[in-house]
Amino acid sequence: MGDLTRADSRDLEPPPGFETLYQELRVGVLRGELAPGAVVSQVQLARHYNISRAPLREALRMLQYEGLVEAEPGRRSRIALVSAPDLEQLYAQRIVLEALAIRVTVPHLDSGRIRELRRRLEEMDELRSAGNFDAWEVPHRAFHSGLVAEGGARLVATMGELSDHAERYRRILLSQPRAWSSAATEHAAILDACEARDARQAASRLAAHYATTALTVCAALAPEYEPTRVRESLRLVREAAHTT
């Protein structure tokens, strides 16, 4: 019985090469290298990556589980579209969860951690003049991660995945020239509230920052769409900021 259990366990293990391929495909989707709506075939992907079909199927299955890939008949997959409904749900979650996390994180932000966050803002300022999103995104992610670092392991993991998925929408936002400077102003205001140890104000400003991103991108994707969930999540955070 013990030998059969071990054999069954081996059968359930992901095939070799799965994790590396999964990460490569995931990055390709998030960066837009695999364009939203594009149809990809397992045959073409296997040939391109010089890999067998087993790890490819597992990688695509995981991307489908994440909502980044949609399965189609005939062993084909389609890269998930960017859309107003997806954007709305994504940012409504980010607003609520990160408002909570920043409120519990602010009391732990000593002078050293504040200086580190300031350095991240300085790095972002240096990089945004070149308009290089990939370079700018590194300190940007570090900055936002630092704001919510004390949220707890489960919450931090969830927020990290949501941030990953939001990258496709950040790229749309920052294709607009004025968005870079607006984002910089909003980031500085959030950190000012953190430095003042005003957790409620920090949460309110972070929520407003995400709402601005969501509403701006939503207007670009589908001007007629009303992102009710984003507005409602922002309202909840603002009401919480004024309760005693």
Residue 31 belongs to domain spanning: 2-79
- The whole-angstrom separation of Cα 230 and Cα 166 is 14
Total domain count, the chain: 2
Same domain, 123 and 75: no
Same domain, 24 and 119: no
pLDDT tier, 15 (very low <50, low <70, confident <90, very high otherwise)? low
- The whole-angstrom separation of Cα 35 and Cα 38 is 5
pLDDT, average across residues 13-34: 82
**pLDDT tens per residue across span 50-101:** 888 888 888 899 999 999 999 877 667 899 999 999 999 999 999 999 999 9
Element holding 39 (H helix, E strand): strand 39-41
pLDDT tier, 4 (very low <50, low <70, confident <90, very high otherwise)? very low
- The whole-angstrom separation of Cα 21 and Cα 15 is 11
CB atoms within 10 A of CB 23: 12
Same domain, 236 and 151: yes
Same domain, 28 and 132: no
Most distant CA atoms of the chain, gap in Å? 66
Q: 88 is written with which tokens? A: 């709305």
Q: Is the pTM of this model over 0.75?
A: yes
Same domain, 133 and 231: yes
**pLDDT tens per residue across span 99-138:** 999 999 999 999 999 999 999 999 999 998 888 899 999 9
Check whether 40 has a pLDDT greater than 60.
yes
CATH number at residue 231: 1.20.120.530
